[in-house]
Amino acid sequence: MTDIEAARRVAELAENAGGKAYFVGGYVRDRLLGRESKDIDIELHGLPPQKAEEVLRQAGTLLEHGRSFGVYGLAGTGLDISLPKNSSGEPDPFIGTREAARRRDLTVNAIMEEVLTGRIIDHFGGADDLRRGILHHVAPETFPADPLRVFRTAQLSARLGSHIHGETIDLCRNIGVSDLAGERVMGELEKALLRAERPSVFFETLREMDQLGCWLPELEALIGVPQNRNYHQEGDVWVHTMLVVDEAAKRRDRAKYPLGFMVSALCHDFGKAVTTSEEDGVVHSYGHETEGVPLVKSFLSRLTSDKRLRRYVMNMTELHMAPNKLAGTGSKIKRTNKLFDRSVEPFDLIWLSICDGLGKLPQSSGSEDFLMERYETFRRIMERPHVTGQDLIEAGIPPGKELSEVLGYAHKLRLAGLEKENVLRQSIAYARSVLKMKI
């Protein structure tokens, strides 16, 4: 059974029990925009919680996402099913569609659609705002109920390409967001980075709302930081970062780890905020790639507990300058292999470096062919048979510190492009001559 079929089944059972089922939120909004939406939200009206649960059990296996808050699901479906809530946030199935819609954030998200008939219920002009490309809060007294709406409004502006009404911007400026959970903020950040054509709109909007400082201070610190005009005529580090993020969005579907790739584009120059200086009229940011690593760690620790993401982005930040530098000097294969070996995802590192070059004026984009050719060479080398610890043990080198040292030496030879037999022979010779091992 598809989610739509499950929704109709719930609606039929609800109507038989004296209630009504409505599609609500982003699902209705996206349908009116002609966009596909996989997230289907249903709101049940006219059924007390106990009766609503009976209906849902008839439809399938009930999942209680938040029973006390009137939020449910059905096993095997992606449906989110809820009861309307009153001003206290408690389930109240009899408040009516207008009052239920008034509790929502934006007019474009307050449009409802009867599941069985398709009839649109639009109490606050959301369809008209949708046509005009405007995001406007439903009610100033209910909008601040969830401070996350500040970030959600910004990410919807980026995703939909919609203009936020000035009154809504003003409202967002005065909402405290410090009590939010970092994971919720990260959720909106992720949507902007992975779904918006121009993620920079999300960050520019938060800047306009004066809402960068609490959760994204490392990003806010880039505003006004100058750059060397010989290489960066686009403006300060903030402007450069926004350009790089948008360039990365054009290529995120090619990345091995799209979220990590996009977050890396956002964070790659954090270190410039603490390393930028001017000498004889020339701006420098020496070592910004390494000085940025602890800033990235602090930034991500505030937002997520995802260890893979943190490790990836810190690694990408530290190495982001290297690919273009090596390409610029036409470095030998051994050096590019060493770089790619240090990278958690060399393919993505190449694209980040390319986006870094494109996200400035004048653009620099001449390294792609060289780097991709070297990446293919690295990949072929790493796919070949190589010397392992077991190979060395069988050659007479016992487990221990010396084995680790010889294995490291063998890896260097591997990166230089040598075949396994040659690497093994030279590694044994190294153990005998340098480590004075009797094997």
Non-local CB neighbours of 193 within 8 Å, separated by 6+ positions: 199, 202, 245, 249, 252, 259, 262, 263, 266
Q: How far apart are CA 97 and CA 418, in angstroms?
A: 72
pLDDT greater at residue 86 or residue 172? 172
Question: 393 pLDDT band (50/70/90 cuts)?
Answer: very high
Distances in Å between the alpha carbon of 380 and those of 25, 187, 337, 418? Answer: 49, 37, 11, 12
Question: 87 pLDDT band (50/70/90 cuts)?
Answer: confident
Question: 88 pLDDT band (50/70/90 cuts)?
Answer: confident
User: What is the percentage of the chain residues whose pLDDT exceeds 70?
Assistant: 99
Dump the DSSP string for 85-129: B-TTS-B-TTS-HHHHHHTSSBGGG--EEETTT--EE-TT-HHHH
pLDDT greater at residue 107 or residue 86? 107
pLDDT at 19 over 80: yes
pLDDT at 365 over 90: no
Q: What is the pLDDT of residue 357?
A: 96
Mean pLDDT of 112-139: 98
Q: What is the pLDDT of residue 89?
A: 82
Chain mean pLDDT for the chain: 96
Question: 253 pLDDT band (50/70/90 cuts)?
Answer: very high
CB 53 within 8 A of CB 74: no
Buried b (16+ CB within 10 A) or exposed e, 349-383: bbbbbbbbbbbbeeebeebbebbeebbeebeebee
Q: What is the pLDDT of residue 1?
A: 83
Peptide bond before 385: cis, by omega within 30 degrees of 0?
A: no
pLDDT in tens, 282-336: 999 999 999 999 999 999 999 999 999 999 999 999 999 999 999 999 999 999 9
Q: Is 257 left (phi over 0), alpha (psi -120 to 50) or beta?
A: beta
Q: What is the pTM of this model?
A: 0.93
pLDDT at 266 over 60: yes
Tell which CATH architecture fits domain 218-380.
Orthogonal Bundle (1.10)
- How many beta carbons lie within 10 A of that of residue 268, not counting itself? 30
Q: What is the pLDDT of residue 41?
A: 96
The pairing of beta strand 163-164 with beta strand 134-135: parallel
Which range is least confidently modeled, 8-12, 152-156, 229-233, 295-299?
A: 229-233
pLDDT greater at residue 366 or residue 205? 205
Strand partners, 278: 283
Domain ranges of the chain: 1-126, 146-211, 218-380, 389-433
Tell which CATH architecture fits domain 1-126.
2-Layer Sandwich (3.30)
pLDDT in tens, 52-85: 999 999 999 999 876 656 789 999 999 999 999 9
